[in-house]
Structure 1
């Protein structure tokens, strides 16, 4: 794989039965193959600057849903649907930019309210520069 090989993924339809790391049922793009659908983990093969975005939708009538970004085992701030209001279908997104080394793992975990997460929720990442 050369330095000009595109790296990026977009996944959606969260598996609300995920126990630890949030997994997604649909892979829309997995250019470079660094996202593993069976584990829910992106593993870096080309070091560089990466951007990751997660969007959480809660189902109408549901409570807030959220997950934390992790790099390796380090927990960062959560992405959240942003409300405890049960009357609407609120959403929230968060983008993080990380300098990754070969073997670094990025994933969403430590989720709450995931059983009421709307199927429109998604997770994406891509290599910005080497």
Structure 2
């Protein structure tokens, strides 16, 4: 049995964490074969990512644990969005465009996963808006 850390989070048992990492690798490989650019895993520096699909494996035994897929736009879009937000230009078209792209890519990723036989759902996690959570393997 694994013990809680100082934040009250309990890591998954090693065998379950290994299963989750294996499923994440299979999902990433299938989506890459389908044409998506997989930009890296959860520990890659986001600042240097060229964009594409980022796979996150949350290895804690709680509702937020599991495999999360995030779409990341090109660095120029990310930077333009950040600059608009820093400048408090909330009506800047780049912010709306970036949001629409995130929404549509999440929907596309869900469709692709379904076509590949995976079970997945749109995020309801406030800390992972517009992400996709993979629930089970291809059938």
Relative to its length, the structure with more strand (as a share) is: 1
| Larger relative contact order, structure 1 or 2 (CA cutoff 8 Å, min sep 6) | 1
Compare CA radii of gyration and give the structure with the larger one.
Answer: 2
